[in-house]
Chain A
């Protein structure tokens, strides 16, 4: 009567390495615990330059925690994470989570931009100031160049007329596009998107996804956590399915969405597609 018999629900985490010589992001057997709650249980993953990886899975499966680790907002209990070869997360000699030094963290964050579910714009600054703040004060860009770059980004986001507005004067979709522009203004190598459309009214989701689709076409490296399955299908180079802190399935979107192999993937996709049909009248079902 060994323990493994009770772990039918929790098989070994699937290894999501790409085997390419120089992945931009590597995650090796990462474990993360909050108190007694195991959030990540042995995650292994590579992200290649220019790759769009979409992470799906039920809530509580550890998707957000994974992204937060990639941005050094969380430490790890075991395993290692490197970004452009720089080790950013590894437990200390005593096995306890250890923060890399502030310099390393900042170097990594210059390479990896992050967009949050709730936008997190700076409410006391205008749209333009939100975007130029970090490039001017962190990248030491001269203010005129910073403003020019911000204006260009706003143009791409279709928000150039909102440059002088404050965040509270914008709709959620507009705020989220500003947040994307703010992250892009730092010219990161990769972008992390943490359920960026989940806090939006349904009719505002599209404008944000359009911007992200454009980014993907431009060749940006992206790790996207989302519940928008149709979008995942369109933009993903690889889809990663997470459940209970593990990667249960990896594959190209066609395989995952047409012929998922893991029973929990099947169950999850079925549930979310049904919800989608009910919630927005079949938008997900459209090609």
Chain B
């Protein structure tokens, strides 16, 4: 069996005296949906930020597709095929919906400003390929009716779909979803779950963090449970829900119980 697409080893992040993430190992395979769950303060967001490149680990390595990306800036990780969405939608407010999505394709354009000014043929081909891909994703996410809308008028759920489309347009190999279901209505959550399953079916690895177990567990192929920065369980969702350590972590914590 080949090595997993994403291999995190001994990931540790200290903030002063606080150990937010401690000696964490994560494997994520192609086409796999992995959920990173745990009660508030478990270190999910810190882990997410370390993998996305917004934060740097105190120690440990993050290997993506055979390359150590632990110290790479976020934009370089995106260019390698590791993209993300934001929990709080972050659209480019002054741009059209299609252009918002096309920004996600940035790293796939080759050549410099001179090629742009001279209108190089390769660039025109890349541009039309990008537009085809963007149109396909508008269709895929069901944003077609809103394509001419000012992005600031999108509903929260539509904004989330825009985030997903923007993260997919570069044909990434892995996508990181930061609490994708947070703030969505029941119908929107169901639709998003179908979309995430489709993404994985295309062979794209999905890492999602969320504390809504009802959303995550039916969807994920595997789940990792964090508590106080440490991994307390790693396995298929049906094993996770019966794991005494997980039950204790969630039920022993009122914030977790409210979502479980």
Whether A and B are associated in the same complex: the answer reads: no
Interface residues, chain A, with chain B CB atoms under 8 Å away: none
Interface residues, chain B, with chain A CB atoms under 8 Å away: none
